[in-house]
Amino acid sequence: MRTIVSLYLVIGIVLLAIGFVGTGDCPNKNSDVVNDVVFVLTWPVGVYGYVITGNMTPTQWLHAQACEGGLGPHHDTDQPKPQ
């Protein structure tokens, strides 16, 4: 059980790290620790809500979290997905 929970948390941390370093220029880094902790704990919900059923690509989703102040109700997800 500890292995599963550890893997879940490691995946969330790796996704957050990819957002900071692997999604392009990041002049406005998200420094809100609470926002980052919530992202790490709820990343599967974000994948489903923003990427699978939403209009964001995985790169846009990670970049929005790491470099655009985080995800939330104020974030515009009505942009069409690039083909």
> What does the pLDDT look like over 1-38, one tens digit per residue?
999 999 999 999 999 999 888 888 887 888 888 988 99
Q: Is residue 74's pLDDT more than 50?
A: no
pTM: 0.78
Interatomic CA distance for residues 6 and 14, integer angstroms: 12
Interatomic CA distance for residues 30 and 21, integer angstroms: 12
Query: For residue 81, what pLDDT band results from cuts at 50, 70 and 90?
Result: low
Cα atoms found within 13 Å of the Cα of residue 17, Cβ hemisphere only: 6
